[in-house]
């Protein structure tokens, strides 16, 4: 904008327009309900008068001489034949009528008291609000009203009633808006202060409309339908009614028509003006379209969820973005995101026409918006936007030239930003490469679930399409998933294999053997094309198959989950199993080392291959769990019951010695506390022991396999299913007596025995007794409450921390500075380490030396 104004706002005062202010500020007087003349040109003095602003691209505003989008629009006015009550001020008018004298207009409080009340009232409006203040005024007035006499002129007061929505009665006589206005005119300026009205720029009679503002056409633009027909805005319709009735009222008054007819028209005018402001007044039938749906007038535009405030101001939406449910696709690349084709046809990327891409873009335009891959808009060299439709297609193709920009559909390889709320760290928003897929969900590689903290139980995610080269380059270079693999928090990979991918590789490296053909088939299916490193023999074991994925110069020594050494020499897995500690997210150094040596792209690629290999292996071998996985041999079951029985006996012995008084207290504990601790310890020991027995003795089962390699479940889960569920604890203690002296009415009062205090000796497979089940429910509820209450608390804590630290940065000299350059730390983190460049927070100097020397050899 050329003629922009720069001014500093000192204060804002809210008031209402006076008739004079309205006339002074408007640019047109509206006199006719007609909108357009025969040529379709706006009528002077009509509701679409060109002095009220422009909505036609070709025309100029007659007031400010600016074009469409430059002219902000200008108000007009109409002069009402008879005044009308403003529906939004009905209450205030009623209060004023009731609180002031009908003949002298003074407030119904004796002069000498007024001063005292004003300061009290001012305090109320300061502490609370104007509404409270008016309530208080009414209270005070009613104190003096009992006398029914004006304290100033002694005239008798009548009771003012209201008949909703806007008819005032004094006794049985109706007060017309003219009479109401006359009353309000009489109200003294100094009395207004009592009601909390600012007297300097407010008069109560302005709450009665005599001159009505007509909003600019820019806020009620007409739309041209496909048929070429014009359709006016609801406000314009309403204003048309107002102008028409007003005109008729004028004519009837001038013609000296009978009072009944005038009254009727006046009421009608009141109705139209009321519904213009608010079409949902409870006692009034709403004004409707011909079709029957109610008009949306001023109040409806502002309020409610779909209104201007909550919808447009508080809830802004971004263009070129999309949101839908996510679902997994292990075959999609780590860097990719699957976008539904229906979305790809709405999300566009602007592409400038050049000599080299003209034909390619022509094809897109030919396909148009309905055929993928097409284009939705063309932006001409002068910046004008054209929608591509079947009708405009030919014309656009004809005029297409270099410099035009085509908004083409999203295609494979486009850049997108992908995000899941809550966006707690930088990996919550990463750059992905678009892959357009059928279906209606976003697809993502399960390996990137971890940084987003996403799962597929209905989670939704957002997608944004950068619209220029700079944004795309920035996103791709700085935010692509593969560049974010190493966490800045702990220096290990945030992505990794999960679930079946881990199980598959575990079984592969542990026990599987293939023929050479099978191995080649398996690997080729995972995207390995170079099979030259596959050993040339008939039987190939899993470790050798896995090794094909590893680069030939990769060396690694680490540990697997069970503590055995994992050794990789020259890209060959010599010993150890591939389980969670090396393939999983947030653990193990193998992925970290691969990333360091071969870089982001290679790591993303190999991770994808390892994942696919694991899943393919599992698919061939077959993998399922069932109730049979929890079977124990008879001897084992007996051993477990013996362990539990022994613990119970031990607990009972402790209780007995407690009652006998010869239990020795632990240091710093009472005897009762000692008893609790020792029982708890004995029972937990029994649970752990029987769990160990169960896990050791269970024959190989799928459930155990998963627990062992860390893909899902842990030994405790298995122990609880097969052996003993164990002691239920609330706040670190055994279940306490919630009833009078006992946990459940089933037990004797004061019973301290394990089973009366929440020890579950059954397992989930055999099933729980009712009282055991109840104890389980108690701890279950406690855990649920805990998570439900802690999540928002810790979320807010985190938010405060991150907001407080958001503009701290590490300066070039290694110190941490705030936004104004003040020092926060002299060396970043005291050790100057960039964690994302370390391995789990450590720099292994020994390894670096070894590698350097080794490479020199």
Partner 1 sequence: MAFDVTKHTLVSKHLKVSDTEKESVFKQYNINSKDLPKILKDDIAIAHLNLKVGDLVKIERVSKTAGIAVYYRVIIEG
Task: List residues near partner 1 by CB under 8 A.
Answer: 813, 815, 821-827, 829-833, 841
Contact between 440 and 342 under an 8 Å Cβ cutoff? The reply is yes
Q: Which does 455 bind (CB under 5 to 8 A by kind): Zn ion, Mg ion, partner 1, none?
A: Mg ion
The DSSP-derived string for 276-331 is HH-TT-TTSPPPB-TTSPBP--HHHHHSSTTSIIIIIISS---SSEEEEEEEE-TT
CB-nearer residue toward partner 1: 656 or 831:
831
Decide: is 108 part of the binding site for Zn ion (CB under 5 A): no
**Part of the chain binding Mg ion (CB under 5 A), chosen from 64-72, 459-467, 680-688, 738-746:** 459-467
CB-nearer residue toward Mg ion: 195 or 452:
452
Decide: is 64 part of the binding site for Zn ion (CB under 5 A): yes
CB-nearer residue toward partner 1: 325 or 823:
823
CB-nearer residue toward Zn ion: 106 or 510:
106
Distance of alpha carbon 376 from alpha carbon 373, whole angstroms:
10
- Bridge partners of residue 539, in order along the sequence: 515
Decide: is 787 part of the binding site for Mg ion (CB under 5 A): no
Q: Which of 455, 553, 638, 807 binds Mg ion (CB under 5 A)?
A: 455
Q: Which of 47, 63, 433, 445 binds Zn ion (CB under 5 A)?
A: 63
- Distance of closest approach, residue 246 Cβ to Zn ion, in angstroms: 25
Distance of alpha carbon 25 from alpha carbon 200, whole angstroms:
19
CB-nearer residue toward partner 1: 429 or 492:
492
The DSSP-derived string for 51-95 is GG---STT---TTT---TTT-----EEEEEEEEEE-GGGHHHHHH
User: Quick check: bond before 422 cis, omega within 30?
Assistant: yes
Q: What residue has token string 């409806």?
A: 300
**Part of the chain binding Mg ion (CB under 5 A), chosen from 456-464, 644-652, 657-665, 720-728:** 456-464
CB-nearer residue toward partner 1: 251 or 818:
818
Q: Which does 275 bind (CB under 5 to 8 A by kind): Mg ion, partner 1, Zn ion, none?
A: none
Decide: is 172 part of the binding site for Mg ion (CB under 5 A): no
Phi, psi (degrees; rounded to nearest 5) at 150: -70, 130
CB-nearer residue toward Zn ion: 71 or 643:
71
- Distance of closest approach, residue 490 Cβ to partner 1, in angstroms: 13
CB-nearer residue toward partner 1: 570 or 827:
827
Longest dimension (CA), the chain: 120
Contact between 125 and 205 under an 8 Å Cβ cutoff? The reply is no
CB-nearer residue toward partner 1: 227 or 820:
820
**Part of the chain binding Zn ion (CB under 5 A), chosen from 148-156, 618-626, 665-673, 772-780:** 148-156
Q: Which does 833 bind (CB under 5 to 8 A by kind): partner 1, Mg ion, Zn ion, none?
A: partner 1
Q: Which does 63 bind (CB under 5 to 8 A by kind): Mg ion, partner 1, Zn ion, none?
A: Zn ion
Contact between 119 and 310 under an 8 Å Cβ cutoff? The reply is no
Q: Which does 700 bind (CB under 5 to 8 A by kind): Mg ion, Zn ion, partner 1, none?
A: none
703-709: long-range contacts, CB 8 A cutoff, minimum separation 24: 703/625, 703/629, 703/630, 704/629, 705/503, 705/506, 705/507, 706/503, 706/625, 708/506, 708/561, 708/562, 708/579, 709/502, 709/503, 709/506, 709/561, 709/577, 709/579, 709/580
List Cβ neighbours of 709 (8 Å cut-off, separation of 6 or more).
Answer: 502, 503, 506, 561, 577, 579, 580
Distance of alpha carbon 732 from alpha carbon 56, whole angstroms:
74
- Distance of closest approach, residue 181 Cβ to Zn ion, in angstroms: 18
Binding mask 23-62 for Zn ion (x = CB under 5 A): ------------------------------x-------x-
HSE-CB of 795 using CA atoms within 13 angstroms: 9
Q: Which does 459 bind (CB under 5 to 8 A by kind): Mg ion, partner 1, Zn ion, none?
A: Mg ion
- Distance of closest approach, residue 458 Cβ to Mg ion, in angstroms: 6
Q: Which does 71 bind (CB under 5 to 8 A by kind): partner 1, Zn ion, Mg ion, none?
A: Zn ion
Q: Which does 750 bind (CB under 5 to 8 A by kind): Mg ion, Zn ion, partner 1, none?
A: none
CA 102 → CA 105, 152, 157, 159, 204, distances in Å?
6, 11, 7, 10, 15
By the criterion CB under 5 A, which residues form the site for Mg ion? 455, 457, 459
């Amino acid at each position: 904008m050329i003629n922009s104004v720069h001014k500093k706002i000192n204060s804002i005062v809210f008031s209402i327009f006076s008739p004079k202010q309205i006339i002074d500020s408007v640019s047109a007087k509206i006199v006719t309900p007609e909108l357009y003349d025969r040529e379709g040109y706006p009528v002077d003095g009509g509701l679409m008068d060109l002095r009220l602003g422009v909505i036609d691209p070709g025309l100029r505003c007659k007031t400010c001489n600016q074009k469409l989008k430059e002219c902000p629009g200008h108000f007009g006015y109409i002069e009402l034949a008879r005044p009308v009550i403003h529906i939004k001020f009905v209450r205030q008018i009623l209060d004023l009528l009731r609180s002031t004298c009908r003949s002298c207009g003074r407030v119904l409080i004796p002069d000498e008291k007024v001063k005292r009340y004003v300061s009290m009232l001012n305090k109320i409006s300061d502490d609370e609000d104007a509404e409270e203040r008016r309530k208080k005024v009414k209270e005070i007035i009613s104190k003096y009203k009992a006398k029914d006499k004006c304290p100033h002129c002694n005239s008798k007061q009548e009771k003012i009633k209201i008949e909703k929505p806007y008819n005032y009665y004094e006794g049985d006589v109706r007060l017309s808006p003219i009479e109401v206005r006359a009353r309000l005119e009489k109200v003294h300026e100094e009395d207004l202060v009592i009601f909390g009205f600012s007297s300097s720029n407010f008069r109560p009679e302005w709450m009665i409309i005599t001159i009505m503002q007509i909003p600019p056409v820019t806020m009620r633009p007409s739309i041209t339908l496909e048929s070429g027909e014009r359709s006016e805005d609801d406000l314009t319709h309403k204003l048309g009614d107002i102008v028409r009735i007003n005109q008729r009222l004028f004519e009837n008054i001038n013609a000296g028509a009978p009072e009944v007819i005038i009254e009727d028209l006046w009421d009608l005018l009141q109705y139209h003006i009321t519904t213009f402001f608010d079409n949902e007044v409870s006692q009034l039938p709403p004004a409707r379209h011909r079709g029957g749906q109610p008009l949306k007038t001023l109040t409806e535009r502002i309020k409610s969820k779909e209104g201007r405030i909550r919808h447009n101001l508080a809830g802004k939406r971004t263009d070129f973005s999309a949101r839908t449910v996510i679902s997994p696709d292990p075959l999609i690349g780590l860097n990719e995101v699957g976008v539904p084709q229906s979305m790809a046809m709405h999300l566009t990327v602007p592409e400038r026409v050049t000599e080299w891409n003209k034909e390619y873009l022509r094809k897109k335009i030919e396909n148009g918006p309905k055929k993928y891959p097409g284009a939705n808009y063309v932006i001409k060299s002068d910046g004008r936007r054209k929608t591509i439709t079947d009708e405009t297609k030919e014309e656009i193709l004809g005029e297409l030239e270099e410099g035009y920009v085509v908004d083409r559909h999203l295609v494979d390889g486009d850049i997108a930003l992908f995000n899941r709320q809550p966006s707690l760290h930088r990996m919550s928003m990463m750059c992905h490469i678009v892959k357009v897929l059928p279906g209606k969900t976003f697809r993502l590689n399960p390996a990137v679930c971890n940084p987003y903290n996403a799962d597929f139980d209905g989670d939704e995610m957002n997608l944004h399409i950068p619209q220029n080269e700079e944004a795309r380059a920035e996103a791709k270079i700085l935010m692509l998933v593969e560049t974010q693999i190493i966490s800045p928090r702990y220096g290990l990979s945030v992505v990794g294999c999960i679930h079946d991918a881990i199980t598959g590789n575990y079984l592969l490296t542990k026990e599987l053997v293939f023929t050479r053909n099978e191995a080649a088939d398996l690997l080729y299916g995972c995207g390995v094309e170079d099979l030259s490193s596959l050993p040339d023999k008939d039987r190939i074991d899993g470790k050798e198959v896995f090794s094909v994925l590893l680069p030939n110069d990769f060396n690694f020594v680490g540990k697997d989950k069970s503590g055995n050494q994992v050794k990789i020499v020259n890209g060959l897995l010599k010993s150890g199993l591939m389980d969670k500690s090396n393939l999983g997210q947030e653990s193990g150094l193998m992925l970290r080392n691969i990333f360091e040596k071969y870089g982001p792209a290679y790591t993303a690629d190999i991770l994808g291959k390892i994942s696919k290999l694991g899943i393919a292996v599992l698919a061939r071998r077959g993998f399922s769990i069932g109730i049979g996985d929890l079977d124990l041999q008879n001897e084992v079951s007996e051993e477990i019951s013996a362990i539990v029985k022994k613990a119970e006996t031990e607990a009972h012995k402790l209780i007995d010695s407690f009652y006998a008084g010869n239990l020795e207290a632990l240091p710093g504990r009472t005897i009762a506390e000692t008893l609790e601790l020792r029982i708890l310890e004995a029972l937990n020991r029994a649970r752990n022991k029987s769990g160990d027995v169960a896990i050791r003795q269970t024959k190989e089962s799928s459930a155990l396999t998963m627990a062992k390699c860390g893909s899902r479940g842990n030994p405790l889960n298995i122990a609880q299913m097969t052996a003993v569920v164990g002691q239920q604890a609330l706040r670190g203690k055994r279940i306490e007596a919630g009833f009078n002296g006992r946990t459940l009415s089933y037990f004797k009062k004061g019973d301290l025995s394990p089973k009366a205090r929440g020890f579950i000796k059954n397992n989930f497979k055999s099933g729980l007794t009712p009282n055991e089940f109840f104890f389980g429910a108690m701890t279950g509820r406690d855990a649920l409450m805990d998570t439900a209450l802690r999540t928002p608390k810790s979320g807010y804590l985190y938010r405060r921390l991150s907001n407080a630290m958001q503009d701290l940065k590490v300066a070039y000299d290694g110190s941490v500075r705030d936004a104004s350059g003040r020092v926060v730390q002299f060396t970043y983190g005291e050790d100057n380490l960039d964690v994302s460049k370390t391995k789990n927070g450590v720099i292994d100097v020994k390894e670096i030396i070894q590698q350097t020397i080794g490479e020199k050899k």
